[in-house]
Protein backbone atom coordinates (compact mmCIF):
# COMPACT_ATOMS: atom_id res chain seq x y z
CA UNK A 1 0.00 0.00 0.00
CA UNK A 2 2.74 2.38 1.04
CA UNK A 3 4.63 1.46 -2.12
CA UNK A 4 1.57 2.29 -4.24
CA UNK A 5 1.15 5.68 -2.54
CA UNK A 6 4.80 6.44 -3.21
CA UNK A 7 4.38 5.46 -6.85
CA UNK A 8 1.44 7.88 -7.28
CA UNK A 9 3.27 10.66 -5.43
CA UNK A 10 6.19 10.12 -7.75
CA UNK A 11 3.99 10.25 -10.86
CA UNK A 12 2.33 13.47 -9.72
CA UNK A 13 5.65 15.13 -8.99
CA UNK A 14 7.07 14.04 -12.31
CA UNK A 15 4.06 15.40 -14.18
CA UNK A 16 4.32 18.73 -12.34
CA UNK A 17 8.05 18.90 -13.12
CA UNK A 18 7.34 18.38 -16.81
CA UNK A 19 4.58 20.97 -16.76
CA UNK A 20 6.26 23.79 -14.78
CA UNK A 21 10.04 23.46 -15.14
CA UNK A 22 12.86 23.79 -17.64
CA UNK A 23 16.16 22.01 -16.82
CA UNK A 24 19.58 23.32 -17.91
CA UNK A 25 21.15 22.05 -21.15
CA UNK A 26 18.12 19.80 -21.63
CA UNK A 27 16.02 19.20 -24.70
CA UNK A 28 12.50 19.52 -23.33
CA UNK A 29 10.97 17.03 -25.78
CA UNK A 30 13.41 14.32 -24.67
CA UNK A 31 12.92 15.18 -21.00
CA UNK A 32 9.16 14.90 -21.29
CA UNK A 33 9.40 11.56 -23.10
CA UNK A 34 11.56 9.94 -20.41
CA UNK A 35 10.91 8.78 -16.84
CA UNK A 36 12.86 10.98 -14.40
CA UNK A 37 14.73 10.28 -11.20
CA UNK A 38 13.43 12.38 -8.32
CA UNK A 39 16.02 12.78 -5.60
CA UNK A 40 14.58 13.28 -2.15
CA UNK A 41 17.52 12.99 0.21
CA UNK A 42 21.20 12.23 0.37
CA UNK A 43 23.74 10.54 2.63
CA UNK A 44 27.50 10.91 2.22
CA UNK A 45 28.30 9.93 -1.36
CA UNK A 46 24.77 8.67 -2.08
CA UNK A 47 21.64 10.28 -3.47
CA UNK A 48 18.38 8.60 -2.49
CA UNK A 49 15.31 8.85 -4.70
CA UNK A 50 11.70 9.25 -3.68
CA UNK A 51 11.26 5.49 -3.75
CA UNK A 52 14.23 4.87 -1.48
CA UNK A 53 16.70 3.70 -4.16
CA UNK A 54 20.32 4.75 -3.59
CA UNK A 55 22.63 6.10 -6.29
CA UNK A 56 26.35 6.82 -6.00
CA UNK A 57 26.66 10.56 -6.70
CA UNK A 58 29.50 10.03 -9.17
CA UNK A 59 29.55 13.66 -10.32
CA UNK A 60 29.46 15.08 -6.77
CA UNK A 61 26.35 17.08 -7.68
CA UNK A 62 28.13 18.55 -10.66
CA UNK A 63 31.49 18.89 -8.88
CA UNK A 64 30.39 21.19 -6.07
CA UNK A 65 29.80 18.66 -3.31
CA UNK A 66 33.38 17.89 -2.39
CA UNK A 67 32.74 16.91 1.25
CA UNK A 68 29.77 14.58 0.72
CA UNK A 69 26.11 15.22 1.43
CA UNK A 70 24.74 16.25 4.83
CA UNK A 71 28.09 16.64 6.57
CA UNK A 72 27.11 17.42 10.14
CA UNK A 73 29.73 20.16 10.66
CA UNK A 74 28.54 21.97 7.54
CA UNK A 75 24.82 21.58 8.34
CA UNK A 76 25.43 22.80 11.90
CA UNK A 77 27.40 25.83 10.69
CA UNK A 78 24.60 26.72 8.24
CA UNK A 79 21.94 26.29 10.92
CA UNK A 80 23.93 28.47 13.34
CA UNK A 81 24.25 31.20 10.72
CA UNK A 82 20.50 31.03 9.94
CA UNK A 83 19.79 31.62 13.62
CA UNK A 84 21.75 34.89 13.36
CA UNK A 85 20.75 36.22 9.92
CA UNK A 86 19.95 34.47 6.62
CA UNK A 87 20.92 37.32 4.30
CA UNK A 88 22.29 40.81 4.53
CA UNK A 89 23.43 42.83 1.54
CA UNK A 90 27.14 43.38 1.02
CA UNK A 91 26.42 46.73 -0.59
CA UNK A 92 27.31 49.23 2.12
CA UNK A 93 27.31 46.61 4.91
CA UNK A 94 29.53 43.75 6.00
CA UNK A 95 29.32 40.84 8.45
CA UNK A 96 31.63 38.66 10.57
CA UNK A 97 31.38 35.33 8.70
CA UNK A 98 32.12 36.94 5.35
CA UNK A 99 35.14 38.75 6.79
CA UNK A 100 36.51 35.62 8.47
CA UNK A 101 35.98 33.50 5.33
CA UNK A 102 37.77 36.06 3.14
CA UNK A 103 40.72 36.13 5.54
CA UNK A 104 40.98 32.34 5.46
CA UNK A 105 40.71 32.21 1.66
CA UNK A 106 43.49 34.76 1.21
CA UNK A 107 45.73 32.76 3.57
CA UNK A 108 45.21 29.69 1.37
CA UNK A 109 45.57 31.47 -1.99
CA UNK A 110 48.88 31.99 -3.84
CA UNK A 111 50.81 35.13 -2.79
CA UNK A 112 49.55 37.62 -5.34
CA UNK A 113 45.86 36.87 -4.70
CA UNK A 114 45.08 39.16 -1.77
CA UNK A 115 41.41 40.17 -2.15
CA UNK A 116 38.08 38.37 -2.21
CA UNK A 117 35.01 39.47 -4.17
CA UNK A 118 32.07 37.16 -3.50
CA UNK A 119 29.71 35.80 -6.13
CA UNK A 120 27.05 33.12 -6.02
CA UNK A 121 27.70 31.00 -9.13
CA UNK A 122 30.56 30.08 -11.40
CA UNK A 123 29.20 32.09 -14.30
CA UNK A 124 28.77 35.19 -12.12
CA UNK A 125 32.34 34.72 -10.83
CA UNK A 126 33.47 34.63 -14.44
CA UNK A 127 31.61 37.86 -15.30
CA UNK A 128 33.18 39.55 -12.28
CA UNK A 129 36.68 38.33 -13.19
CA UNK A 130 36.29 39.60 -16.77
CA UNK A 131 35.12 42.99 -15.54
CA UNK A 132 37.92 43.29 -12.95
CA UNK A 133 40.57 42.43 -15.57
CA UNK A 134 39.05 44.86 -18.07
CA UNK A 135 38.71 47.67 -15.52
CA UNK A 136 42.25 47.11 -14.22
CA UNK A 137 43.82 48.09 -17.53
CA UNK A 138 41.59 51.18 -17.81
CA UNK A 139 42.41 52.45 -14.31
CA UNK A 140 45.81 51.05 -13.22
CA UNK A 141 48.81 53.32 -12.56
CA UNK A 142 49.87 53.09 -16.25
CA UNK A 143 46.57 52.57 -18.06
CA UNK A 144 46.56 50.54 -21.26
CA UNK A 145 43.12 51.22 -22.73
CA UNK A 146 43.75 48.96 -25.74
CA UNK A 147 43.78 45.89 -23.49
CA UNK A 148 40.13 44.97 -23.87
CA UNK A 149 40.17 41.41 -25.25
CA UNK A 150 40.35 37.97 -23.65
CA UNK A 151 42.23 34.83 -24.64
CA UNK A 152 40.75 31.38 -24.04
CA UNK A 153 41.06 27.82 -25.32
CA UNK A 154 38.84 25.92 -27.73
CA UNK A 155 36.46 23.50 -25.99
CA UNK A 156 36.50 25.66 -22.88
CA UNK A 157 33.45 25.98 -20.66
CA UNK A 158 33.18 28.97 -18.34
CA UNK A 159 29.47 29.26 -17.67
CA UNK A 160 26.26 30.20 -19.36
CA UNK A 161 25.87 33.96 -18.95
CA UNK A 162 26.69 36.12 -21.97
CA UNK A 163 30.26 37.08 -20.96
CA UNK A 164 31.10 33.57 -19.76
CA UNK A 165 29.67 32.11 -22.96
CA UNK A 166 31.74 34.55 -25.02
CA UNK A 167 34.98 33.15 -23.59
CA UNK A 168 33.70 29.58 -23.90
CA UNK A 169 34.50 27.37 -26.85
CA UNK A 170 31.78 24.76 -27.20
CA UNK A 171 29.82 25.46 -30.34
CA UNK A 172 26.60 23.70 -29.40
CA UNK A 173 26.18 25.99 -26.38
CA UNK A 174 26.96 29.14 -28.36
CA UNK A 175 25.46 28.71 -31.81
CA UNK A 176 22.09 30.35 -31.16
CA UNK A 177 23.69 33.31 -29.37
CA UNK A 178 26.57 34.29 -31.65
CA UNK A 179 25.17 37.78 -32.25
CA UNK A 180 25.14 38.44 -28.50
CA UNK A 181 28.73 37.33 -27.81
CA UNK A 182 31.82 39.57 -27.81
CA UNK A 183 34.85 38.61 -29.95
CA UNK A 184 37.77 36.86 -28.25
CA UNK A 185 41.18 35.44 -29.17
CA UNK A 186 41.10 31.64 -29.10
CA UNK A 187 43.24 28.64 -30.06
CA UNK A 188 43.26 24.86 -29.32
CA UNK A 189 45.03 23.81 -26.12
CA UNK A 190 46.97 20.66 -25.33
CA UNK A 191 44.69 17.70 -25.99
CA UNK A 192 46.95 14.71 -26.59
CA UNK A 193 44.13 12.21 -26.91
CA UNK A 194 42.96 13.86 -30.15
CA UNK A 195 45.94 16.05 -31.06
CA UNK A 196 44.94 18.60 -33.69
CA UNK A 197 48.55 18.54 -34.96
CA UNK A 198 48.48 14.69 -35.17
CA UNK A 199 51.54 14.40 -32.93
CA UNK A 200 52.23 12.21 -29.88
CA UNK A 201 53.29 13.18 -26.38
CA UNK A 202 56.15 13.40 -25.25
CA UNK A 203 57.92 13.40 -28.68
CA UNK A 204 55.83 16.41 -29.73
CA UNK A 205 57.49 18.60 -27.05
CA UNK A 206 54.14 20.36 -26.77
CA UNK A 207 54.19 21.76 -30.28
CA UNK A 208 50.58 22.85 -29.69
CA UNK A 209 51.77 25.26 -27.03
CA UNK A 210 54.03 27.01 -29.54
CA UNK A 211 50.87 28.00 -31.39
CA UNK A 212 49.22 29.14 -28.17
CA UNK A 213 52.27 31.23 -27.30
CA UNK A 214 52.45 32.67 -30.80
CA UNK A 215 48.81 33.75 -30.75
CA UNK A 216 49.12 35.26 -27.30
CA UNK A 217 52.31 37.09 -28.22
CA UNK A 218 50.67 38.43 -31.41
CA UNK A 219 47.70 39.79 -29.46
CA UNK A 220 49.53 40.74 -26.25
CA UNK A 221 48.89 44.46 -26.62
CA UNK A 222 45.13 44.03 -26.80
CA UNK A 223 44.70 41.20 -24.25
CA UNK A 224 43.24 42.06 -20.84
CA UNK A 225 43.39 38.49 -19.49
CA UNK A 226 44.00 34.81 -20.17
CA UNK A 227 40.98 32.71 -19.17
CA UNK A 228 41.62 29.04 -18.56
CA UNK A 229 40.22 26.19 -16.52
CA UNK A 230 42.96 25.43 -14.02
CA UNK A 231 43.20 21.60 -14.02
CA UNK A 232 41.06 19.98 -16.64
CA UNK A 233 38.93 21.41 -19.39
CA UNK A 234 35.71 20.63 -17.66
CA UNK A 235 32.34 20.21 -19.13
CA UNK A 236 32.90 18.70 -22.53
CA UNK A 237 35.25 15.75 -22.13
CA UNK A 238 37.55 16.37 -19.17
CA UNK A 239 40.75 17.36 -20.84
CA UNK A 240 43.85 17.76 -18.78
CA UNK A 241 45.46 21.05 -19.76
CA UNK A 242 48.94 19.69 -19.02
CA UNK A 243 50.52 17.29 -19.71
CA UNK A 244 47.64 16.99 -22.11
CA UNK A 245 46.43 13.50 -21.38
CA UNK A 246 42.78 12.60 -21.62
CA UNK A 247 41.38 11.88 -18.19
CA UNK A 248 38.59 9.29 -18.29
CA UNK A 249 35.56 10.56 -16.39
CA UNK A 250 35.73 8.03 -13.58
CA UNK A 251 39.40 8.73 -12.93
CA UNK A 252 39.04 12.48 -12.62
CA UNK A 253 40.83 12.69 -9.24
CA UNK A 254 44.03 11.58 -11.00
CA UNK A 255 44.01 14.91 -12.75
CA UNK A 256 44.71 16.68 -9.49
CA UNK A 257 48.41 15.84 -9.49
CA UNK A 258 48.83 17.84 -12.69
CA UNK A 259 47.47 20.97 -11.11
CA UNK A 260 50.83 22.47 -10.36
CA UNK A 261 52.10 22.27 -13.90
CA UNK A 262 48.86 23.61 -15.30
CA UNK A 263 48.97 26.53 -12.85
CA UNK A 264 52.55 27.25 -13.89
CA UNK A 265 51.60 27.06 -17.53
CA UNK A 266 48.68 29.43 -17.07
CA UNK A 267 50.85 31.92 -15.19
CA UNK A 268 53.65 31.65 -17.77
CA UNK A 269 51.19 32.37 -20.58
CA UNK A 270 49.77 35.30 -18.70
CA UNK A 271 53.25 36.70 -18.15
CA UNK A 272 53.99 36.27 -21.84
CA UNK A 273 50.85 38.20 -22.69
CA UNK A 274 51.63 40.78 -20.00
CA UNK A 275 48.12 40.39 -18.76
CA UNK A 276 46.20 39.01 -15.84
CA UNK A 277 45.61 35.31 -15.29
CA UNK A 278 41.90 35.02 -14.54
CA UNK A 279 41.67 32.28 -11.97
CA UNK A 280 38.32 30.66 -11.53
CA UNK A 281 36.48 27.57 -10.42
CA UNK A 282 39.39 26.03 -8.53
CA UNK A 283 36.88 24.55 -6.09
CA UNK A 284 34.95 22.90 -8.92
CA UNK A 285 37.93 20.88 -10.01
CA UNK A 286 39.21 19.55 -6.71
C1 LIG B 1 35.00 25.28 -15.46
C2 LIG B 1 33.66 25.88 -15.16
N3 LIG B 1 33.54 27.21 -15.10
C4 LIG B 1 32.32 27.79 -14.85
C5 LIG B 1 31.18 27.03 -14.66
C6 LIG B 1 29.85 27.70 -14.41
O7 LIG B 1 29.43 27.52 -13.09
P8 LIG B 1 27.92 27.71 -12.68
O9 LIG B 1 27.15 26.57 -13.25
O10 LIG B 1 27.95 27.70 -11.16
O11 LIG B 1 27.46 29.03 -13.22
C12 LIG B 1 31.27 25.64 -14.71
C13 LIG B 1 30.06 24.84 -14.52
O14 LIG B 1 29.93 23.70 -14.82
C15 LIG B 1 32.53 25.04 -14.99
O16 LIG B 1 32.66 23.73 -15.07
- Among protein residues, the one with the nearest Cα to ligand 1's atom 2 is 158
- Among protein residues, the one with the nearest Cα to ligand 1's atom 15 is 158
Q: Is 122 in the pocket of ligand 1 (CB under 6 A)?
A: yes
Burial per residue of 125-145, b for 16 or more beta-carbon CB atoms within 10 angstroms, e otherwise: bbbbbbeebbebbeeeeeebe
pLDDT at 7: 79
3-state SS, residue 124: helix
Residue 132 sits at the vertex; the CA angle it makes with 285 and 272, to the nearest 5 degrees, is 75
pLDDT at 13: 95
Q: Is 125 in the pocket of ligand 1 (CB under 6 A)?
A: no
Architecture of domain 2-63: Alpha-Beta Complex (3.90)
Q: What is the pLDDT along the chain (286 residues), one digit of tens a residue?
A: 677 877 788 899 999 999 999 999 899 999 999 999 999 999 999 999 998 999 999 888 887 888 999 999 999 999 999 999 999 999 999 999 999 999 999 999 988 889 999 999 999 999 999 999 999 999 999 999 999 999 999 888 899 999 999 999 989 899 999 999 999 999 987 777 778 899 988 888 888 888 888 999 999 999 999 998 866 665 544 455 444 333 333 332 322 223 333 444 455 555 544 554 443 333 333 2
For the CA of 229, the nearest atom of ligand 1: 1
Q: Which residues lie closer than 8 Å to 79 by C-beta, 6 or more apart?
A: none
Distance 234 CA to ligand 1 centre (A): 8
pTM of this prediction?
0.80
How many other β-carbons are positioned within 10 Å of the β-carbon of residue 248? 11
The CA-atom distances, in angstroms, between 218 and each of 1, 143, 185, 214, 236 are: 71, 20, 10, 6, 28
> Are 191 and 266 a contacting pair, CB within 8 Å?
no
Q: Is 169 in the pocket of ligand 1 (CB under 6 A)?
A: no
Architecture of domain 119-285: 3-Layer(aba) Sandwich (3.40)
pLDDT at 279: 36
Q: Give me the chain's average pLDDT, please.
A: 82
Name the residue ranges covered by the structural domains of the chain.
2-63, 119-285
Amino acid sequence: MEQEARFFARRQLEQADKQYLWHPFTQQQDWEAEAQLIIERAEGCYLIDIEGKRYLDGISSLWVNVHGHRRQEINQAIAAQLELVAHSTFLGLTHPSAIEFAQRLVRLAPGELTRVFYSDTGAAAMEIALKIAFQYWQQCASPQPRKTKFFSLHSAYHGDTVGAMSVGGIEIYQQVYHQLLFPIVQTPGAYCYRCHLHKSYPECHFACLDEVERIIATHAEELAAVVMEPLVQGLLVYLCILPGIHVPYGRLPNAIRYSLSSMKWRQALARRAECLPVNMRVSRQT
